[in-house]
Amino acid sequence: MTKNLQVTLSEFLENYEKSSTAKITKFKGYGSLRNASTFGEAIHMDLEGDLKSLFPTTNGEIIPHATWFLLPIDDYTSWKWV
């Protein structure tokens, strides 16, 4: 009986995963936010990090290597500063 229950549970999880993936759609929404009309009007900040491939910024042991950085993004042009 336990074996049948495990098979049924795994089948359920597989079917659940397929059905939930099929229901996912890209929806922009009807928010009241507007897009920027000129460069620099709206700048968004994104915190990127835990990247092991970043070049170390310091040689000392007191200050740890940088693994996080702030990424500003211009809303009008989608231009990014790093």
Q: Where are the domains of the chain?
A: 2-74
What does pLDDT average to over the chain?
69
The arithmetic mean of pLDDT across residues 1-10, rounded, is 58
pLDDT over 90, % of the chain: 0
- Arithmetic mean of pLDDT, 49-71: 64
Distant-in-sequence, close-in-space partners of 74: CB < 8 Å, separation ≥ 6: 36, 39, 40, 42, 43, 80
**10-39 pLDDT per residue, tens:** 676 666 665 555 555 555 556 556 678 889
How high is the pLDDT of residue 44? 86
Distance (Å, rounded) from C-alpha 79 to C-alpha 44? Answer: 10
Whether 77 has a pLDDT exceeding 60, the answer reads yes
Instruction: Give this prediction's pTM.
Output: 0.43
